[in-house]
Structure 1
Amino acid sequence: MNSKLHPTALISEKAIIGNNVTIGAYTVVNDNVVIGNNSTIEAFCELGVENTLCDGSPLILGENAYIRSHSVFYAASNFGKNLVTGHRVTVREKTTAGHNFQIGTLGDIQGHCEIGDFVKCHSNVHIGNKSKIGNYVWIFPYVVLTNDPHPPSDVLIGCEIQDFAVIATMSVILPGVQIASDTLIGAGSIVGKNVETGWVVAGNPAKPVCEISKIKLKDGSGRKAYPWRNHFHRGYPQHEVEKWLSELNL
């Protein structure tokens, strides 16, 4: 299978390892794991951790995954192609994500989450249990998606973040809050109410600031900063960019 498996790695014979896979030193790959072709798992990781909340289904990593060192992924989760993580990431059971998902260093996904395509989470992001995240969402460092309306309790109500939303650094989204598409949550915000499409909210408690279309790029061009896909295309496939520009009549 042309894979490079470090001699110190502990890899179950029941695990399914694709072609051209690299697994680093002292990494543990448990029974219930499927690793797609052309993936890299760095040193000191553990894949397929089981607990009482797992249902026996495998951890599935799509092709071209890149998992950096000291990361831990539980069983019963499924990721599309091109998953990329930073170091020391934790992902709990029953998380599903589309392709091109990025999780920054020290990212923490608490399981039972639904995540779309091209979601980008920077470092130290905490995604609470039962969160739902759409496509092309940006979540910046130290953001927290919460889920318990009166902690500690067994009542869990996840947040919902819709397509193209941007959540700036140090923000907290409170349980059950829905962030609509094409919105911006300002840095350091505490968001306790739903946010409508096309708005900027900021503050503690977060309140509407303006329509997102009124924000200009600070590059002297006078161009609108949002929708951000008007001008920011790095890392996205050309066919997606062309689709965006067509939809925006650009």
Structure 2
Amino acid sequence: MKTLLIVGAGGLGRETYQWVLDQEKAEKRWDDIGFLDDNSHALDNYKVSAKIVGTVKDYEPKAGEEVICAIGDAEVIADICPVLLDKGAVFATVIHPTALLADTCEIGRGVIVGPYAIISTDAKITDFSVVNSYVSVGHDVSVGKGCVISGFSDLMGFSALEDGVFLGSGARLLPSVRVAENARVGAGSIVLKNVKANTTVFGNPAKIISTP
């Protein structure tokens, strides 16, 4: 029996659950689906048939189980995924059946790719990253570990995200722009030049609004 455990029962977790159900219609991969969340009431008042079966802290992997980290906060991803790896967890990759992936792109373990996302030629998405709905990842783009790319964002050719970057909805990176580790790009921002590590930028054109 194969089981998928979705880590995080918040908004992205519930979205991921639906995407998994959509994926299951195209290709059956799991016999059971559940959630891991520290809040046992996180699914109260939501129409989700899967249940919260435990917490990340108490989770002990079993044979036939896979996990996917569905949390929309890059800092939390960076905290949780190493803990799960140390426990011996096996990470699944979830790719919605409507996503368009080039034959030459690379997708790491524990990656989520949402509906109608496009990942183009020779692009690389590293472990534990989230590529949300309608995101466009251009040719030769590099996405580091544990990044969160919100819906409708556009990463143009040869642009790059280092580890732990967050892009808000509708953010756009011009060609060859690099966003350094743990930086945050606000929703709707147009990024014309490189962004330094641990900074937050916002606007059109994007400007620094906070630094370490």
Question: For the superposition of Structure 1 and Structure 2, which TM-score range results when normalised by the shorter chain?
Answer: 0.5 to 0.7
Who is 1:72 aligned against?
A: none
SS in 2 for 1:170: coil
CA-CA distance at 1:114 after TM superposition: 1.6
Within a 5 Å distance, the mapping from 1:165-204 to structure 2 comes to 165-204=165-204
CA-CA distance at 1:96 after TM superposition: 1.2
1:89 aligns with 2:99: yes
SS in 2 for 1:135: coil
Q: Which has the higher contact order (CA 8 A, sep 6+)?
A: 2
What whole-Å deviation, never above 9, does each CA across 1:162-189 have from its counterpart, x for those lacking one? Answer: 0000000011000000000010001100
Within a 5 Å distance, the mapping from 1:115-194 to structure 2 comes to 115-147=125-157, 158-194=158-194
| Runs of 4 or more above 6 Å deviation | 63-66
The separation in 2 between residues aligned to 1:208 and 1:144, in whole angstroms, is: 20
| TM-score, scaled relative to structure 2 | 0.58
Measured on the aligned residues, the alpha-carbon RMSD in Å equals 2.7
Task: List alignment gaps of at least 5 residues for structure 1.
Answer: 1-21, 28-37, 41-62, 67-79, 148-157, 214-250
The separation in 1 between residues aligned to 2:164 and 2:25, in whole angstroms, is: 35
Who is 1:104 aligned against?
A: 114
CA-CA distance at 1:122 after TM superposition: 1.1
Who is 1:223 aligned against?
A: none
CA-CA distance at 1:86 after TM superposition: 2.7
Task: List alignment gaps of at least 5 residues for structure 2.
Answer: 1-22, 31-64, 69-89
| Paired amino acid for 1:198 | N
Indicate how the Cα distance of structure 1 residues 189 and 23 shifts in structure 2: closer, same or farther if over 3 A, else same: closer
Q: How many positions carry a matched residue from both structures? A: 136
| Paired amino acid for 1:172 | R
SS in 2 for 1:208: strand
SS in 2 for 1:198: coil
The separation in 2 between residues aligned to 1:23 and 1:164, in whole angstroms, is: 29
| TM-score, scaled relative to structure 1 | 0.50
The separation in 2 between residues aligned to 1:23 and 1:197, in whole angstroms, is: 38
| Paired amino acid for 2:164 | F
SS in 2 for 1:169: coil
What whole-Å deviation, never above 9, does each CA across 1:187-237 have from its counterpart, x for those lacking one? Answer: 1000010000010111111111111x5xxxxxxxxxxxxxxxxxxxxxxxx
| Paired amino acid for 1:84 | V
